[in-house]
Amino acid sequence: MLWIGTAGWAIRREHAGQFESEGSHLARYAARLNAAEINSSFYRPHRPATYARWARETPEDFRFAVKLPRAITHDARLKNASLPLRKFLGECGALEEKLGCILIQLPPSLKWDKETAQDFFAEFREAYAGAAALEPRHESWFTNDADKMLSRFRIARVAADPIPAKMKHVAQAAEPGGFDGFRYWRLHGSPRIYYSNYESEFLRALAKRLAKEARTKDVWCIFDNTALGHATANALEMMKYA
């Protein structure tokens, strides 16, 4: 299955004509796109009732990716995370079958540490068995040892665009890694992160590649170039090609 969506589900005025006029923003969004990434969970918790309402507002074949809280990734830096992790999973678990993926984005300063990573992912897998994707932003994570561990815990490594400036020499960051049974692409806007538009030629070529991969595995493509609204236009255009 190929899941295409944006970070959040805002519908800007210039795109309103491409969506139904009735219903909540989420319901209108979900009538055109089949996935969305919940980034607000990174900054603050949401009540289970809120997740349950979002699930009700979307079609049966819609899925959400939910971003792990910064309290776990940035503040605790993956250590001693048992209580906040289980609290978070208890909240977003109210999405039930519409919880498609957990997104784990690490701070650029967080280096690969085998013991810390192994302890965290073991605890993570004990509490959650579904799809998960990791977006590391330090070059030390892009090694064979790190990839083998991610594969063992069934964690896909995100393919991110653009590659962070400090990792321009790490070509692997632009390609999927880790667990091979799942793919997650995060397109932040290139060359200007969050602002740049993706041209049709790029979208057409990527859609062809992802559609082929989606014959055998779940593939996600989330547009995060939301600052000027390009994410919505890019996602809708990619849906035409996929």
DSSP 38: E
- pLDDT at position 168 is 87
Work out the average pLDDT over 90-112: 97
pLDDT in tens, 144-180: 999 999 999 999 999 999 998 888 899 999 999 999 9
Residue ranges in 95-229 assigned as alpha helix (H): 114-127, 144-152, 200-213
Query: Does residue 106 surpass a pLDDT of 90?
Result: yes
Work out the average pLDDT over 107-115: 96
- pLDDT at position 124 is 98
pLDDT in tens, 196-227: 999 999 999 999 999 999 999 999 999 999 99
Kindly report the CATH number that applies to the domain delimited by 2-184. 3.20.20.410
- pLDDT at position 166 is 86
- pLDDT at position 100 is 98
Nearest to 64 by CA among 86, 33, 41, 95: 95
pLDDT in tens, 27-53: 999 999 999 999 999 999 999 999 999
Query: Does residue 127 surpass a pLDDT of 90?
Result: yes
**Mean pLDDT for all residues in the chain:** 96
- pLDDT at position 165 is 84
- pLDDT at position 111 is 97
The residue with tokens 């815990």 is 153
**CB 8, CB 211: distance < 8 Å:** no
Core vs surface per residue 109-121: b (16+ CB within 10 A) or e: ebebbeeebeebb
pTM over 0.75: yes
pLDDT band at 21 (very low <50, low <70, confident <90, very high): confident
